[in-house]
Structure 1
Amino acid sequence: MLLYTDASLAKHVNELSAFERPERLPAALAGAEAARRAGARVERRAFEPADPGLLREVHAPEYLNLLRSTAESGGGTLDPDTAMNEHSWSAARLAAGAAAAAAESALSGTPAFAVVRPPGHHAESGRAMGFCYLNNAAAAASRALARGAGRVAVLDWDVHHGNGVQEIFYSDPRVLYLSVHRSPFYPGTGAAEETGEGPGEGFTVNVPLPARSGAPVYAAAFAGVLLPVLREFEPGLVVVSAGYDAHRRDPLGGMELDERDFGAFAAALRREAPLALVLEGGYDLKALAASVRETVLGAESGGPPVWRFSDDLPEPVRRARRILSRYWEGMR
């Protein structure tokens, strides 16, 4: 697995968040190193910050100007929990560039992981929120399309719904957005009825789950919705918004997964298409490191998941299938 990261990403500080802090970066990298010691092939690669053309594919020019000018003036507040310092613009550009590089590597045949901060999946085309400034997963998907992927899937297992990725691609049939997340919860989006609009109708797939959901419910979501739709879509690349705040130790998530479950998710997805992972949330440092370790090992092996799929689907999964049945044969 190729690893895209940069030590200067730790210079970004969001003074409004006690959770998305610089210490997350070395914790995640320690997880990748633990995977290497356990036998995974992990190699760091150099990359460039996201160029203006790529950023304009997913964000409005005036919004990009706002981010740049806010950082150049020393920082400022963009959202009740999202602030910038003087390093935030360069860190955000690096994070988006790492995600784009991971997508290119995966398309070339080697799975890749952009271990970055700040996270990105809440950033909309013209709005920062939820600790996010530039949408890293969207940048990865856009780069893959530009490199000829044809169809790209973005699968989000962060505990929070990725409203930004959904908004950016809501009417684009080239990008399938799939999310399994806690609901009701921040940011208040991600209902099963949100399925896309116009030519993108049917290409947004949401599986909202109740608080305290654990591995059996997530396994049902993967088996009953996410994997069947993904196979039917036949993407040239899967970008994973790899958030780890659904871990049972996380101070924000309120779910019941452990690190082995994330490894199983990665292994299952590796068998479906080329895989590029992008770090999102995850705020308990020990859980973050352990989860990154298992994710790298799972993505490297592509072996069978450690959890079992169940034919007895819970109601949230059955409901998502009913809503999606008008678009996907595998949901009927």
Structure 2
Amino acid sequence: MITHEAGFDHLMPPGHPEQVARLAHVLEALEGKELRRVVAPMAAEDDILRVHPKSHIDRLRKAAPSEGWAQIDGDTFLSPGTLEAAWRAAGGAVRAVDLVMAGEARNGFVAMRPPGHHAERETPMGFCLFGNVAVAAMHALEHHGLGRVAVVDFDVHHGNGTQDLLEEDARVFFASSHQSPLWPGSGGAHETGGHGNVLNLPLAPGTGGAAFRKAWEDQVFPRLREHRPEFIFVSAGFDAHRDDPLANLDLIEADFAWVTERLCALAEELCDGRLVSCLEGGYDLHALGRSAAAHVDALIAAASPPRALAGA
């Protein structure tokens, strides 16, 4: 698990759903678990520049306030501590890739905020500033020299930012299941990417776990096998939970555990278990904590017993 106390310094206006307490509830739910705990470093600027232009970084730096809040989108705000948190959220994802590629971890969960999957190339939005998962995926490709990776997203909202950042790269397969209709209004099944490498699964409100599982079993998992990634990345949003106030897809903790277990099994089959997950949404605090715990329990189970390290 990779995190940093800077995640608590990204402050939102009162009543905003993407609140500091989200990270507190996730970390509390993970206390006592058999996790290697790693401090999230700041991302290098070159890591961010693989998916965002310098103008995007410069805009955020210019907008960052010295006190209070700066609103940069209808629901996206900066506070004095936001940029460090955002750089560490992306840097934590990069660090997770490095640990897994070095064989020092079987998989990783990046418990940081702000989330990232709505941040488009030059547009921060939906509480997101940098495309954390996309940054990690490109790091695996460009720094570690992998040939193919996959990014899957089970947040209740479409991962429009991740799609925007990666859909023109044939080395990447991207799949997103999400409630539709729902903000941001993208993610139709007709959106298939520049190389047929995007799979969107719009799900009706009230879909529930059985139909969610069937959609992933019938559509996402076969496409993952077809792509044969060397690394799997997960945008782990838990706002599809039935208790979440922002949507009503009606999943429960067991559904998040199931999809995580299946993804870990596919990672073991396809890419020596290499998988990194990044926290995205989830706005009912108690449901978020329970769901994150179920997700991480599945990651821990997939990583046990730990692989022997070189030289050990």
Higher mean C-alpha displacement, 50-59 vs 98-107:
98-107
Name the residue aligned to 1:9: 7
1:269-321 deviation line (CA, Å, top 9, x unaligned): 11112110000000111111111111111122249xxxxxxxxxxxxxxxxxx
Name the residue aligned to 2:287: 287
CA shift at 1:15, angstroms?
2.2
Structure 1 position 240 matched with structure 2 position 234: yes
Q: 1:130 aligns with which of 123, 126, 132?
A: 126
Q: Distance in 2 between matches of 1:90 and 1:71?
A: 11
Name the residue aligned to 2:308: none
What TM-score, normalized by structure 1, do the two folds share? 0.85
1:100 is paired with a residue of what secondary structure? helix
Q: Distance in 1 between matches of 2:233 and 2:170?
A: 16
Q: Distance in 2 between matches of 1:81 and 1:288?
A: 20
- Which 4+ residue blocks in structure 1 deviate beyond 4 angstroms? 72-75
Q: 2:22 aligns with which of 24, 36, 44?
A: 24
Amino acid at match of 1:131: F
Structure 1 position 207 matched with structure 2 position 201: yes
1:163-194 deviation line (CA, Å, top 9, x unaligned): 00000112111111110110111101100000
What TM-score, normalized by structure 2, do the two folds share? 0.91
Q: Distance in 2 between matches of 1:302 and 1:214?
A: 25
Amino acid at match of 1:83: F
Amino acid at match of 1:288: L
1:51-99 deviation line (CA, Å, top 9, x unaligned): 1001111111111001112115544111010110111111100111011
Name the residue aligned to 2:54: 61
1:230 is paired with a residue of what secondary structure? helix
Number of residues paired by the alignment?
293
Structure 1 position 163 matched with structure 2 position 160: yes
Alpha-carbon contact 1:4-1:98 (below 8 Å) kept: yes
Name the residue aligned to 2:115: 119
Structure 2's unaligned 5+ residue stretches are 268-273, 304-312
Alpha-carbon contact 1:82-1:129 (below 8 Å) kept: yes
Structure 1 position 178 matched with structure 2 position 188: no
Q: Distance in 1 between matches of 2:170 and 2:47?
A: 19
Q: 1:30 to 1:226 in 2, by over 3 A?
A: same
CA shift at 1:17, angstroms?
5.9
Name the residue aligned to 1:328: none
Amino acid at match of 1:181: H
1:22-77 deviation line (CA, Å, top 9, x unaligned): 0001111122226x1xxxx3110134211100111111111100111211554411
Alpha-carbon contact 2:192-2:198 (below 8 Å) kept: yes
Alpha-carbon contact 1:31-1:291 (below 8 Å) kept: no
Name the residue aligned to 1:189: 186
Higher mean C-alpha displacement, 240-249 vs 214-223:
214-223
Q: Distance in 2 between matches of 1:228 and 1:143?
A: 25
Q: Distance in 2 between matches of 1:302 and 1:4?
A: 17
Amino acid at match of 2:46: G
What is the percentage of aligned positions where both structures have the same residue? 39
Name the residue aligned to 1:296: 296
Q: Distance in 1 between matches of 2:124 and 2:264?
A: 31
Higher mean C-alpha displacement, 156-165 vs 81-90:
81-90
CA shift at 1:265, angstroms?
0.9
Q: Distance in 2 between matches of 1:106 and 1:186?
A: 34
Q: Distance in 2 between matches of 1:166 and 1:64?
A: 19
Name the residue aligned to 1:329: none
Q: 1:165 to 1:81 in 2, by over 3 A?
A: same
Name the residue aligned to 2:271: none
Q: Distance in 1 between matches of 2:264 and 2:102?
A: 14
Name the residue aligned to 2:306: none
Q: 2:219 aligns with which of 213, 216, 225?
A: 225
1:90-127 deviation line (CA, Å, top 9, x unaligned): 11001110111122223334210000100110001100
Amino acid at match of 1:5: T
